[in-house]
Amino acid sequence: MREWIEAIFLAIIAAIIIRTFFFEAYTIPTSSMEKSLLVGDYLFVSKINYGARLPMTPLAFPFAHNKMPFTNDLKSYSERIKLPYFRFPGFQNIERNDVVVFNFPLDIENPVDKRENYIKRCVGLPGDQFQIIDRQIVVNEQKQNFPKEGQFEYFVNTKDSHLSQDQIATLNITDGGPIQSDTGYVGKYALTSETLQKIKALPNVISVEEIQRPKGLSLIEEPVFPEDPRHYPWNLDNYGPLPIPAAGQTVTLDTANIAIYRDLIEQYEGNEIKQIGTDFTINGVATNQYTFKMNYYFMMGDNRHNSLDSRFWGFVPENHIVGKAILIFFSKEDVNTRWERMFKWVE
């Protein structure tokens, strides 16, 4: 019995070390990364690529994130001990187009390392000038390639009836459906470029119209960061230009860009900032300049019209980065295994 207990204890310790400092398994819960990553994909996320992060809330129940197993409200950690942010050296820096797991910055109910895990594609690096022009990402005035399996939404007009379930299954459309329309049979679907060409060739399809928000239009139903349409009339398809802060970079604050930088200065870097008219004080000192302590990143889902990402809530601080998604080791849809996705590298 003692040998069994010792073996189990050592196995648990080894698993905790591997999970904390090397690799961890995650599952895809939503369609924000389709078709690059599907709901039901199980991933290995590497923590050594960018450098493992020392746990900031070390007193926690093993193998639980922020809630105890089989509960919805019982915390799995204690904040009696809090450690400062520290990251061990990694093999690489975050690169543009990496698929990254990070702690959701707006989850302020939990400490940083216990905030909900999100997975998105990094589209903007520290120091970049980020912009979306007519759905096209432009970084530092250079157009960026769209992910091979990325999706946009389209209106699909058909005759006699909506797209059949067989057509939807054959085209592997997993996001969208019929909508109410006075002009006939119309559906709104998220399509890859390949699926777009196939759906145009269907005999019962009359037309396919891309959905695009025009430049200068700020939609009340889709408020985007920094939620200041007077200075930043942006939307999902025409966004920016937005400068992404880098560690050591100094910015001059004004009544317009304070909407971009306030949360970074206060919530993420722990300062007190006050504004009186056009003047600012930071930690009680009158100044209109601030030098950032951390690097920041801009993250977006590949399902561009159905992704809660940086366009809605802003930057991801470096201390929120968990790791790099590298391998799909298992995938299932309902009770069916997707054998073709097993042991597929994340691109």
**Distance separating alpha carbons of residues 282 and 284, to the nearest angstrom:** 5
pLDDT tens, position by position, 122-146: 999 999 999 999 999 999 999 999 9
User: Average pLDDT for residues 140-164, to the nearest whole number?
Assistant: 93
| φ, ψ dihedrals at 195, nearest 5° | -65, -35
pLDDT tens, position by position, 80-125: 999 999 999 999 999 999 999 999 999 989 999 999 999 999 999 9
pLDDT tens, position by position, 292-346: 999 999 999 999 999 999 999 999 999 999 999 999 999 998 889 999 999 999 9
Q: Map out the domains of the chain with their CATH numbers.
A: 2-128+244-249+292-345 (2.10.109.10), 152-210 (3.30.70.260)
For residue 298, what pLDDT is reported?
A: 98
Structure tokens given for 48: 């050594």
Q: What one-character DSSP code corresponds to residue 114?
A: G
- Alpha-helical runs (H) found in 22-74: none
For residue 121, what pLDDT is reported?
A: 97
For residue 194, pLDDT over 80 is answered with yes
DSSP 3-state of 249: coil
DSSP E strands in 48-128: the ranges are 99-103, 117-124
For residue 71, pLDDT over 90 is answered with no
Amino acid making up residue 205 = V
Binning pLDDT at 50, 70 and 90, where does residue 173 land? very high
For residue 72, pLDDT over 80 is answered with no
For residue 181, what pLDDT is reported?
A: 82
Average pLDDT, the chain: 93
- pTM, two decimals, is 0.93
Binning pLDDT at 50, 70 and 90, where does residue 64 land? confident
With left for phi above 0 and alpha for psi between -120 and 50, is residue 126 left, alpha or beta? beta
**Distance separating alpha carbons of residues 215 and 132, to the nearest angstrom:** 10
**Distance separating alpha carbons of residues 202 and 212, to the nearest angstrom:** 23
Pair 232, 184: CB distance under 8 Å: no
